[in-house]
Amino acid sequence: MKQICVVGAGYVGLVTGVAFADLGNQVICLDIDEDKIETLNQGETPIYEPGLKEMLQRNVLAGRLIFTTSYAQALKDAEFVFIAVGTPSGADGEAELKYVRMAAESIAENMNHPLIIINKSTVPVGTGDWVANIIEKHQDEPIPFWVVSNPEFLREGSAIHDFMSPDRVVLGSLHPEAAERVASLHRPLRTIIQITDLRTAEMIKYASNAFLATRISFINEIATICEELGADVKEVAVGMGYDKRIGPHFLDAGIGFGGSCFPKDVRALEHMALIHGAHPQLLRAVLDINRHQRRQTIVKLRALLGGLDERKIGILGLAFKPNTDDMREAPAVDIAHQLLREGAVVQAYDPVAMAEAPHILPDVRLVDNAYEAAENVDALMVVTEWNEFRHLNMVRIKENMAGDVLIDGRNIYNPDRMTSLGFRYAGVGRSPKHGNGG
């Protein structure tokens, strides 16, 4: 059993804390957000993540997991301190490090014994050294500490599973003994542990996310070409995926990527490259294609409806992807704003993001289910591929609608079937093979 403190109880920090407690460690999660800590102390989770609440309650009950806003309390017995605070995009696309700075300063001011400080936030290459400097400067008296980079690769929606069964754990440090001690925390996960230097570990995270984003933009560019040439991108992706050198993952054409990681991490890597004199032309194209996908959805809708002013549009799915309530940089947010700007009336439904949605989309009417989202609309758009949308009664959906336009932004329906039900269907990179409705 190790004593672990996790700073930042968001999607990454909370999952990390809960999972380490479940592995038998003594964990204290710290956040500066008092409401969040209050919610956690009541046994509730401030975010939606499958399996998280049950695991949290089990570990609180077992006395292995507590929550606090006090750095002094959190660091008192800690051997390991994970930093898992946000690193949002700054004005020029750079990763904003103010929360990491604040966390490092608070750790320095409150530590009273040697610590291993592990950075889990996604941070620009060189941040590990910078954190070490901050800590040195803010300590009242010199107390030894070691900085380790441990980038996180979990996905929202399957975060517990991803944490417990990772493809690999990456650890970077200039101090092999510190990295080895952090490795020992991860041994129960029975996975590959790659130990490297700080900067390389930090870069592995950016390169991984940029590569996944590139695959998505690649298939989206192929989708645009498929639309022009009459091929079906979904089948193209299947055929490509059989090739072991390519593999089937991250080849789903659609409205493009969103969320709190891919867009900001590609932007941050582009920014890092630019300020160091490199020319990140591929990364630029990846972001450009991603923006294009969102714009094209509106272009298709506008063309099918002959304009958007006073048109009523239903949106299915607001979260940036299924199985999460996270709406950060969600395509649905951009799309809804654009529809509203062009004079449309918008109603929307999401299975779990409905608590978050009113703050982000106050002018969108939120309804209780997918059938209500279709009620009296001229067009219905699928923006997030929640499983429940795959199994809707599309006859009933069509009957509820005033119009007949179906924009399938995630290619979850069969174009021919939708056309035969009377929809004018527009997917991404595919159209009905027998008579084109869209």
> Which phi and psi angles does 348 have, rounded to 5°?
-150, 155
DSSP readout, 292-340? Answer: HHHHHHHHHHHHHHT--TT-EEEEE--SSSTT----TT-HHHHHHHHHH
Residue 425 pairs with which residues in a beta bridge? 406
Instruction: Please choose, out of 56-64, 84-92, 234-242, 281-289, the segment that lies near ligand NAD by the rule CB under 6 A.
Output: 84-92
* Binding to ligand NAD in span 18-37, by CB under 6 A: 30-33, 36
> Which phi and psi angles does 145 have, rounded to 5°?
-155, 160
The residue (of 102 and 195) whose beta carbon lies closer to ligand NAD is 102
Q: Tell which one of 22, 49, 94, 156 touches ligand NAD (CB under 6 A).
A: 156
> Which phi and psi angles does 124 have, rounded to 5°?
-55, 150
Q: Tell which one of 29, 75, 78, 84 touches ligand NAD (CB under 6 A).
A: 84
The tokens of 218 are what?
């690649």
Q: Which one-letter amino acid corresponds to residue 375?
A: E
The residue (of 154 and 327) whose beta carbon lies closer to ligand NAD is 154
Q: Tell which one of 7, 27, 55, 164 touches ligand NAD (CB under 6 A).
A: 7
Q: Tell which one of 6, 10, 223, 270 touches ligand NAD (CB under 6 A).
A: 10
- Indicate which residue of 5, 29, 226, 261 is catalytic: 261
Cα distance between residue 430 and residue 59, in whole Å: 48
Residues in the interface with ligand NAD (CB under 6 A) total 27
What string marks each residue from 246 to 265 as x (binds ligand NAD by CB under 6 A) or -? Answer: --------------xx----
Instruction: Please choose, out of 100-108, 220-228, 295-303, 421-429, the segment that lies near ligand NAD by the rule CB under 6 A.
Output: 100-108
The residue (of 168 and 433) whose beta carbon lies closer to ligand NAD is 168
Query: Looking at 44-95, which runs of residues are DSSP E strands?
Result: 65-68, 80-83
Locus of tokens 């969103």? 258
The residue (of 268 and 370) whose beta carbon lies closer to ligand NAD is 268
Instruction: Please choose, out of 148-156, 182-190, 314-322, 365-373, the segment that lies near ligand NAD by the rule CB under 6 A.
Output: 148-156
Least Å distance, CB 49 to ligand NAD, is: 10
Contacts of 362 (CB under 8 A, 6+ apart): none
Q: Report the candidate in 25, 24, 30 with the shortest Cα–Cα distance to residue 4.
A: 25
Least Å distance, CB 178 to ligand NAD, is: 21
Q: Does 152 bind ligand NAD (CB under 6 A)?
A: yes
Q: Which one-letter amino acid corresponds to residue 424?
A: R
Mark whether 226 is an active-site residue: no
- Strand order of the sheet with strand 345-349? 365-366, 345-349, 312-316, 379-382, 405-408, 424-426
The residue (of 52 and 379) whose beta carbon lies closer to ligand NAD is 52
* Binding to ligand NAD in span 102-141, by CB under 6 A: 102-103, 106, 121-122
What string marks each residue from 35 to 74 as x (binds ligand NAD by CB under 6 A) or -? Answer: -x--------------------------------------
Least Å distance, CB 274 to ligand NAD, is: 20
Q: Does 202 bind ligand NAD (CB under 6 A)?
A: no
Sign of the CA dihedral 253, 12, 326, 390? positive
Cα distance between residue 128 and residue 119, in whole Å: 7
Residue 194 pairs with which residues in a beta bridge? 170
* Binding to ligand NAD in span 352-391, by CB under 6 A: none
Q: Is residue 394 within 8 Å of 413, Cβ to Cβ?
A: yes
Q: Report the candidate in 192, 74, 104 with the shortest Cα–Cα distance to residue 183.
A: 192
Locus of tokens 């291993």? 116
Instruction: Please choose, out of 19-27, 78-86, 111-119, 373-381, the segment that lies near ligand NAD by the rule CB under 6 A.
Output: 78-86
Find the residue with minimal CB distance to ligand NAD: 10
Least Å distance, CB 433 to ligand NAD, is: 37
Locus of tokens 């301190």? 81
Least Å distance, CB 121 to ligand NAD, is: 3
Cα distance between residue 360 and residue 430, in whole Å: 32
Half-sphere exposure of 126 (CA within 13 A, CB side): 7
Instruction: Please choose, out of 11-19, 274-282, 362-370, 375-383, the segment that lies near ligand NAD by the rule CB under 6 A.
Output: 11-19
Please give the residue ranges that form the binding site for ligand NAD (CB under 6 A).
7-13, 30-33, 36, 84-87, 99, 102-103, 106, 121-122, 152, 154, 156, 260-261
Give catalytic residues, as residue numbers.
261
